[in-house]
Structure 1
Amino acid sequence: MQESVTEFRQLNLADTLLSALETMGFVAPTPIQAASIPLLLTGTDALGKAQTGTGKTAAFSLPLLNKLDLDQRKPQAIVMAPTRELAIQVAAEIKVLGQNIKGLKVLEIYGGASIVDQMRALKSGAHIVVGTPGRVKDLISRDRLHLDEVHTFVLDEADEMLKMGFVDDVTWIMEQAPETAQRVLFSATMPPIVKEIVDRFLRDPARIDVAGENRTVSKVEQQFWVVKGVEKDEAMMRLLETEDTDASIVFVRTRQDTERLADWLSARGFKAAALHGDIPQSLRERTVEHIKRGVIDILVATDVVARGLDVPRITHVFNYDIPFDVESYIHRIGRTGRAGRNGKAILLVRTNQIRMLRTIERVTKSSMEEIQLPMRDVVAEARLSRLGQELEAQKEEASLESFVELVEKLQESIEVDAATLAAMLLKRQQGNRPLFYKGPDPMVAAIEREKQRRDRRRDDGDRGDRGDRGERRERRTYNTADWDTYQLQVGREQGVQVKDIVGAIANELGLNKDSIGAIKLAPEHTYVQLPKKMTSEVVSQLKKLRIRQKETQAVVVEDDVLREHRRGSRDGNRDGNRGGYRGNREGNGGREGGRARREGERRFDRNRGGDHRGSYRGERNHGNSNGNSGDRRRTERSSKPRSEA
């Protein structure tokens, strides 16, 4: 059936529906539509496995509309969706598909809106009800939503619905369903909890599986940028200004970040707004309407509230934060490239998130192109070009004559020529988005550092014999006087680990492993040794360094808070304290002793009960052969930096 159906006219649909599809420009059904519509028209229970963007809303909506009895005032179909936004979107699509059906009433019901208004609408009659499980259950319990005439129940995005905690509500509603009603379930994945609902409520369902034919992914150009050189906020600004966008969605993980980033972009002249679950429903609906009408161009949103959002203007999806799972990524990029349209998705990814990126590529069977962030000069040129286009459009306006007179008056009053006055006005115009930059672009240094790292890795691979390793080990030995100790205002209480410190310094400052000395974690701060001979540019980057999205506010500490040398003390290091990131790898028992120490240190690091954890490797009195733990603790306490005392 799927392969033989090439046009909607081959399906047994009413002329009113076919004319609506033709008006919308749809001639050929998608695979999920070609497979589902003939089955659903027969009244068979069905289980459809289809991801977002495959056209599944029309797949179940067209059969519903085809079977309606317009003379019946009670609901004949209940469609349940996991979120308010998706319920609104599904209802809107059903209305568009049924635009030629006179007297059609489609009602959306969900929490956050007036239940009194919804009860009043039900009383006046509705043919199809689209809602969230909680509100549907509430209205059934109040005896305002009657199911005795319902012939079809649809669960859309069932996996998301059940994952969000609607299991009990969905189960209760399905228990109230008339025995003769058709049950239809669509889901992108089939976890056990969905399978339980299927086994319990669907009767010998027809199975439709087109999950591997997701057209959204194939229609969306996917790119990624590895975060380096600049903060992600500035990266977003550069991308938004140089990409050929109409409207965009920027996905972040937390509600707080939606507000922060939207405010940051708005302060720089972008038409941006936040969208998250704490925003009142009326404001959320108004925000979505604003992006549809062009009042705003950028939505900064969390995953849940953007589900089902279908705005034709959205050409770009920016993943400011990488999602936790592949399904969320597919849902995100599904906000563009819908219904045959092309779109673009750009992911901002940190170096420690590359593995998740590769997982997304593997599961979606797609390949992402790595891109470089536009340089500041390119951004400035884009701003100037946009300003020129705006001025070009205004130069023929008749109202400019009065402003010409103002220019002449201003020239006389402040005694400047026309060119200087124009320059002054341009400076005001630029606001927080400069038309040109002064000083070097930090991205240039970042790209050069990346090139140097790759060259070093290649050279190290070429010299990888034992003798060369010995030479490199010799070069790593520095005098303690060559180091400065910096205090970073992040520590264990912020969830920071030594690997975060090392990764941030290596990636953001371009320092190699030989240029990172001892590291000591404390609850609220961290001490790290770095070379005294760092360039002013690197020191400047260090002061701006962020670790786990927190400013480090690095400052040099004058006191000797880190007594451990990078390679261990040359005077013998009486207590064998390894202290920092590198520590002493030689002596004190040779290879076997070193292995024993490392094993002891790993056990030590897992003891999360007290502040005596101290440095990265931990502190051990290896000279104590009887392993007395009390002596060890006294030794550790005695070596604490003064700021922890």
Structure 2
Amino acid sequence: MSTFESLGLSQQITEAVGAIGFETPTAIQQQAIPHLLSGEEDFIGLAQTGTGKTAAFGLPLIQRTDTMLPFIQSLVLAPTRELCLQICRELESFASNQPGLKLLAVYGGADIVRQMKGLERGVHILVATPGRLRDLMRRGKVDFAHLQHVVLDEADEMLNMGFKEEIDDILQSVPENRRTWLFSATMPKEVRRISEDYMENPFELSVGQQNTSNADISHRFVFLRPAERYEALRRFIDFNSGLFALVFVRTRRDAAEVAERLTQDGYRADALHGDLSQHQRDRVMGAFRNRHLRILVATDVAARGIDVDEITHVFHFNIPDDIAFYTHRSGRTGRAGKKGESIILAHPKDKHLLKKLEKTVKIKLEPTEVPNGDAIFEQRLLGFFARAAQTPPHPAIEKYLPQIVEELGDMSREELALRLATSTMGHSLASYANSRPIGQAGPKDKPRLSRTDSRKLFINLGDMDLDGKGGMLSFLCEQGGISSSDIGKIDLQKKHAFVQVEEKAAARLIKAIDGLEHNGRTLRVNDGDTGPKGKKGKKGKGPRKKKEKAFRKR
């Protein structure tokens, strides 16, 4: 088994690495570190997020730095402020036994004057985001005359974020005789162009296949209607007591709304999206990193550069438009040898996208099921007693033990466990007692409701009131307290709709919505054959037929 000592690192560095708990180098570290310590050529390292790339380039950089020379000798470019700061923190821990080595992180959203003063005091290794570095270079505050190494970390992310122009400017401004080390999870055309334009015969190392996902991640999917996604997410959260999760959504509005609903339902959650100020973003990320938050809801753009250990689950409210983004999303879990789960809450129409995802990322997506109420309650109940069995007795309570035993009388262990569970967990049982199965684990579409087991209802809400059929479905489920599985065909018109609803659910829906106020209007729900006024007309003369006839006359 390989060790850090066997890779050629100095005793100072190996002791520092051991002090922070690193024992066995990862695959990328085993293969990259010896080459970067001794090699004098450009280098490309392809490995997934979470495989230890920072140590793979950071340890050689530190060992090759001459602290007697007061110049910038190495530059590390990172796509985001968060990753920039994290790289700098990790390098500082690796260099803890070398107090003469000076590091500095420069990034947007922070005081540029303070960063310029830091550069004036002297820096050996500079970690930077492309935009802020180019700003400092234009102000004449960065001297790269003695630069020996340039590291492009998460190169694919930097180019995805639109930093092509900045990277070109920076690489054209540094000395030609420097060495360039490029690290990336994927190798799209834009990254290959960078290597061809600015690197000379690079040594290429690939750990795993390009665009593939970490083997420690289980990739699953479940088919859900849009209105079911939030409830499904809640059930997954409740089923996994140790869950520490990222939830990816498409828009800023989605992120804010999902996080707000989770918070209202008692979960420790917050949102990360483009409308946040840098101060707000730092606060949210700090809370998540310190586990004051259990769930972080984010957009793809806002989540770039997030590098937090021990995330157990990644949920996808949508399949990303750029399939390669899935690798970055799912790569937030299953890090440092830990297992992780990536779960797609897919729409039934997304089958072709799932197949494309499997082919592109080279993974096998397995169907899963949304936990039902019984399964969630069982998990909670067994977890409660497992924690109780592992809890050491409190000394202050022991003196009351005789009275407690007397109060229990001749009660058996089984009866005591039953009564204790009822008194402490009864509320959880009640909350899931009537929960319905949701979602489809398999690849087949849900069968449509038949006319014999459903009713056609009329409702005086239409497309002008709600956002399409998806908006109507969400409204009916939330206001009527029914599942989307109870709803069949929705015939949506401008001012009204006809909806096929399961027989038993139809009565609940009418009771809940009929007479409800919505945007200053009283809602009316009745049998679809009676039309808007609740009176049967002649066959074929309902509101929709009349409207079509009037249109033909015009």
Per the alignment, residue 536 of structure 1 pairs with 504
- State the Cα distance separating 1:96 from its structure 2 match: 2.7
Q: 1:278 to 1:113 in 2, by over 3 A?
A: farther
Contact conserved, 1:509 with 1:538, CA < 8 A, in 2? no
Q: Name the amino acid aligned to 2:199.
A: L
- State the Cα distance separating 1:112 from its structure 2 match: 1.1
Per the alignment, residue 437 of structure 2 pairs with 443
Q: 1:397 to 1:222 in 2, by over 3 A?
A: farther
Contact conserved, 2:77 with 2:128, CA < 8 A, in 1? yes
Residue number among 251, 262, 271 corresponding to 1:254 in the alignment? 251
Look up the SS of the partner of 2:201 in the other structure: coil
Are residue 396 (structure 1) and residue 390 (structure 2) matched? no
Q: Name the amino acid aligned to 1:89.
A: Q
- State the Cα distance separating 1:281 from its structure 2 match: 2.7
Q: In structure 1, how many angstroms separate the alpha carbons of the residues matched to 2:220 and 2:324?
A: 18
Contact conserved, 2:48 with 2:331, CA < 8 A, in 1? no
Are residue 12 (structure 1) and residue 22 (structure 2) matched? no
In the alignment, structure 1 segments of 5+ residues that lack a partner are 403-421, 458-474, 546-550, 563-568, 574-578, 581-613, 622-633, 639-645
Residue number among 224, 233, 238 corresponding to 1:236 in the alignment? 233
- State the Cα distance separating 1:361 from its structure 2 match: 2.6
Per the alignment, residue 462 of structure 1 pairs with none
Q: 1:530 to 1:239 in 2, by over 3 A?
A: closer
Look up the SS of the partner of 1:345 in the other structure: strand
Q: Name the amino acid aligned to 2:497.
A: Y
- State the Cα distance separating 1:198 from its structure 2 match: 2.5
- State the Cα distance separating 1:345 from its structure 2 match: 2.3
In the alignment, structure 2 segments of 5+ residues that lack a partner are 401-418, 478-482, 514-518
TM-score (norm: length of structure 1): 0.67
Which of these two proteins has the greater Rg computed from alpha carbons?
1
Q: 1:130 to 1:554 in 2, by over 3 A?
A: farther
Q: 1:635 to 1:213 in 2, by over 3 A?
A: closer
Q: What's the RMSD between the two structures over aligned residues?
A: 4.7
Q: 1:121 to 1:437 in 2, by over 3 A?
A: same
**1:126-173 deviation per Cα after TM superposition (whole angstroms, max 9, x unaligned):** 221112110011111112222112111122222221222211111111
- State the Cα distance separating 1:37 from its structure 2 match: 4.5
Contact conserved, 1:248 with 1:297, CA < 8 A, in 2? yes
Look up the SS of the partner of 1:443 in the other structure: coil
Look up the SS of the partner of 1:221 in the other structure: strand
Residue number among 116, 132, 135 corresponding to 2:132 in the alignment? 135
Look up the SS of the partner of 2:288 in the other structure: helix
Q: 1:485 to 1:294 in 2, by over 3 A?
A: closer
Per the alignment, residue 87 of structure 2 pairs with 90
- State the Cα distance separating 1:313 from its structure 2 match: 3.4
Look up the SS of the partner of 2:463 in the other structure: coil
Q: 1:57 to 1:489 in 2, by over 3 A?
A: farther
Q: In structure 1, how many angstroms separate the alpha carbons of the residues matched to 2:395 and 2:99?
A: 46
Q: Name the amino acid aligned to 2:81.
A: R
Q: 1:530 to 1:224 in 2, by over 3 A?
A: closer
Q: In structure 2, how many angstroms separate the alpha carbons of the residues matched to 1:267 and 1:114?
A: 36
Q: 1:437 to 1:124 in 2, by over 3 A?
A: same
**1:579-630 deviation per Cα after TM superposition (whole angstroms, max 9, x unaligned):** 89xxxxxxxxxxxxxxxxxxxxxxxxxxxxxxxxx99xxx7x9xxxxxxxxx
**1:284-334 deviation per Cα after TM superposition (whole angstroms, max 9, x unaligned):** 334333333332222222223333433333222222333333322221221
Look up the SS of the partner of 1:165 in the other structure: coil
Q: In structure 1, how many angstroms separate the alpha carbons of the residues matched to 2:45 and 2:37?
A: 11
Where in structure 2 are the equivalents of 1:1-40 lying within 5 Å?
6-23=2-19, 24-31=21-28, 33-35=30-32, 37-39=34-36
**1:32-67 deviation per Cα after TM superposition (whole angstroms, max 9, x unaligned):** 650464156423122333332333222222221121
Look up the SS of the partner of 1:53 in the other structure: coil
Q: 1:526 to 1:96 in 2, by over 3 A?
A: farther
Look up the SS of the partner of 1:231 in the other structure: helix
Per the alignment, residue 263 of structure 1 pairs with 260
Look up the SS of the partner of 1:172 in the other structure: helix
- State the Cα distance separating 1:520 from its structure 2 match: 5.3
TM-score (norm: length of structure 2): 0.77
Q: 1:215 to 1:397 in 2, by over 3 A?
A: farther
Contact conserved, 1:7 with 1:29, CA < 8 A, in 2? no
**1:363-417 deviation per Cα after TM superposition (whole angstroms, max 9, x unaligned):** 3333233222222244345556666778885973749999xxxxxxxxxxxxxxx
Q: Percent identity between the aligned chains?
A: 32
Q: In structure 1, how many angstroms separate the alpha carbons of the residues matched to 2:485 and 2:437?
A: 11
Per the alignment, residue 589 of structure 1 pairs with none
Q: In structure 2, how many angstroms separate the alpha carbons of the residues matched to 1:449 and 1:536?
A: 26
Q: In structure 2, how many angstroms separate the alpha carbons of the residues matched to 1:338 and 1:346?
A: 16
What number of residue pairs does the alignment pair up? Answer: 515
Q: 1:56 to 1:357 in 2, by over 3 A?
A: same
Look up the SS of the partner of 2:214 in the other structure: helix
Look up the SS of the partner of 2:327 in the other structure: helix
Q: In structure 2, how many angstroms separate the alpha carbons of the residues matched to 1:106 and 1:202?
A: 25
- State the Cα distance separating 1:190 from its structure 2 match: 3.4
- State the Cα distance separating 1:219 from its structure 2 match: 0.6
Residue number among 455, 463, 475 corresponding to 1:490 in the alignment? 463
Q: In structure 1, how many angstroms separate the alpha carbons of the residues matched to 2:208 and 2:242?
A: 29
Q: In structure 1, how many angstroms separate the alpha carbons of the residues matched to 2:338 and 2:360?
A: 22
Q: 1:134 to 1:636 in 2, by over 3 A?
A: farther
Where in structure 2 are the equivalents of 1:426-575 lying within 5 Å?
434-437=428-431, 440-443=434-437, 484-490=457-463, 494=467, 508-509=484-485, 516=489, 519=491, 521-522=493-494, 527-528=497-498, 530=500, 534-538=502-506, 540=508, 555-556=525-526, 560=531
Q: In structure 1, how many angstroms separate the alpha carbons of the residues matched to 2:369 and 2:116?
A: 54
Look up the SS of the partner of 2:141 in the other structure: coil
Q: Name the amino acid aligned to 1:106.
A: L
Q: Name the amino acid aligned to 1:441.
A: S
Q: In structure 2, how many angstroms separate the alpha carbons of the residues matched to 1:163 and 1:243?
A: 33
Q: In structure 1, how many angstroms separate the alpha carbons of the residues matched to 2:470 and 2:446?
A: 23
Q: Name the amino acid aligned to 1:276.
A: H
Q: In structure 2, how many angstroms separate the alpha carbons of the residues matched to 1:59 and 1:92?
A: 15
Q: In structure 1, how many angstroms separate the alpha carbons of the residues matched to 2:95 and 2:211?
A: 25
Where in structure 2 are the equivalents of 1:60-71 lying within 5 Å?
60-71=57-68
Contact conserved, 2:37 with 2:64, CA < 8 A, in 1? no
Q: Name the amino acid aligned to 2:504.
A: S
Q: Name the amino acid aligned to 1:136.
A: L
Q: In structure 2, how many angstroms separate the alpha carbons of the residues matched to 1:326 and 1:448?
A: 22
Contact conserved, 1:246 with 1:313, CA < 8 A, in 2? no
Contact conserved, 1:76 with 1:128, CA < 8 A, in 2? yes
- State the Cα distance separating 1:18 from its structure 2 match: 2.7
Q: In structure 2, how many angstroms separate the alpha carbons of the residues matched to 1:245 and 1:127?
A: 41
Look up the SS of the partner of 2:215 in the other structure: helix
Residue number among 152, 175, 178 corresponding to 2:175 in the alignment? 178
**1:328-367 deviation per Cα after TM superposition (whole angstroms, max 9, x unaligned):** 2221221121122222222222212233223333333332
Q: In structure 1, how many angstroms separate the alpha carbons of the residues matched to 2:307 and 2:36?
A: 26
- State the Cα distance separating 1:177 from its structure 2 match: 0.5
Residue number among 336, 352, 357 corresponding to 1:355 in the alignment? 352
Are residue 212 (structure 1) and residue 209 (structure 2) matched? yes
Contact conserved, 2:212 with 2:361, CA < 8 A, in 1? no
Q: In structure 2, how many angstroms separate the alpha carbons of the residues matched to 1:452 and 1:318?
A: 22
Per the alignment, residue 565 of structure 1 pairs with none
